[in-house]
Amino acid sequence: MAMADDRNRLSARRRSGRRCWKAAAPADDGEGCTTRAAVSAPVLARLLTWLSPAFPVGGFSYSHGLEWLVEAGHIPDAPRLGDWIEDVLRHGAGRTDAIFLAEAWRAVAVADAARLKEIADVAAAFATTAERRLETLAQGAAFLTAVAAAWPHPVLGELNDASGIAYPVAVGASAAAHGLPLPAAAHAFTQAFAASLVSAGVRLIPLGQSDGLRLLARLEGVIAEVAAAAVRLRLEDAGGAAILVEIASMRHETQYTRLFRS
């Protein structure tokens, strides 16, 4: 019975023209396409490279509004920084960006260009301030350029020709184009985002390196929870309540002394 059900699902996908990337040890992503249940060494190496602080997207130059919050006295120490990052992950860009990444991955996996454009437009619109828009679009463009140079793929060429591709959309589309599993890509991206915020806080408050490592250890469970939930959500589920992040971003635009671009 189970084998018959699998054949029926495959037949239905063929009739509808949907195409899924091949994956070993398949696990359903909720859309009938498959992802790898276990992360292989090559997949892990690729994600570590793409989402490394050394990858040329300029992530070190963005603080996501944190610089103004520190100067205003809202985040004076490591515990408060951890609270803020946790809120951003659960209620702000951490959650929404992971959703955009997952939706972009699914759109590329089934070769739905119109859906990918819709996702890209919504993701760009979610950056509600000038600096937040710069943060996500500049990193998205830099990521696509870097990946296309070393790991070319027709999908990446089409995205490079487009304008206004947000960072999570660029990562999700690239991961799907190269057959990287969605759960691992979402987790790695969310981890990298959190680590970037911790790094900014260590430099701004300032904190010691051990404080930063303790914060990363504290956030491991939250990161896993947010990423795992996001891969099951859809575009209409995107939304948040991290209002202070947007206010901080707007205030940062006129901050007198600045180290960061956002």
Q: How far is CA 176 from the centre of its chain?
A: 13
Cβ-count burial of 60 within 10 angstroms (0-12 exposed, 13-18 middle, 19+ buried)? middle
- On the question of pLDDT at 159 being above 90, the answer is no
Q: Which residues of 16-39 are buried (b: 16+ CB within 10 A; e: fewer)?
A: eeeebbebeeeeebebbbbbbeeb
Assess contact for 88 and 245: CB atoms under 8 A.
yes
Residue type, 225: E
Residues 13-55 pLDDT 10s: 433 444 443 333 333 454 545 444 478 999 999 999 999 999 9
pLDDT at residue 75 is higher than 90: yes
pLDDT in tens, 89-131: 999 999 999 999 999 999 999 999 999 999 999 999 999 999 9
pTM (predicted TM-score): 0.86
The tokens for 17 are 């023209």
How far is 1 from 58, CA to CA, in rounded Å?
52
Amino acid at 175: A
Residue identified by tokens 């995107």 is 238
| Rounded-to-integer distance, Cα 52 and Cα 59, Å | 10
What distance, in Å, lies between the first and last C-alpha atoms of the chain?
55
Strands (DSSP E) contained in the chain are 26-28, 34-36
Distance separating alpha carbons of residues 31 and 69, to the nearest angstrom: 40
Q: Name residues whose C-beta falls within 8 Å of residue 52's C-beta, 6 or more positions apart in sequence.
A: 192
**How open is the CA angle 75-57-170, to the nearest 5 degrees?**
105
- Over the chain, what is the mean pLDDT? 88
Per residue in 167-206, pLDDT (tens digit) is 999 999 999 999 999 999 999 999 999 999 999 999 999 9
Q: What pLDDT score does 34 carry?
A: 46
Residue type (1 letter), 143: F
Burial class (CB in 10 A: 0-12, 13-18, 19+), 42: exposed
DSSP letter for each residue of 41-94: HHHHHHHHHHTSTTSTT-GGG--TTHHHHHHTTS--SHHHHHHHHHHHHHHSHH
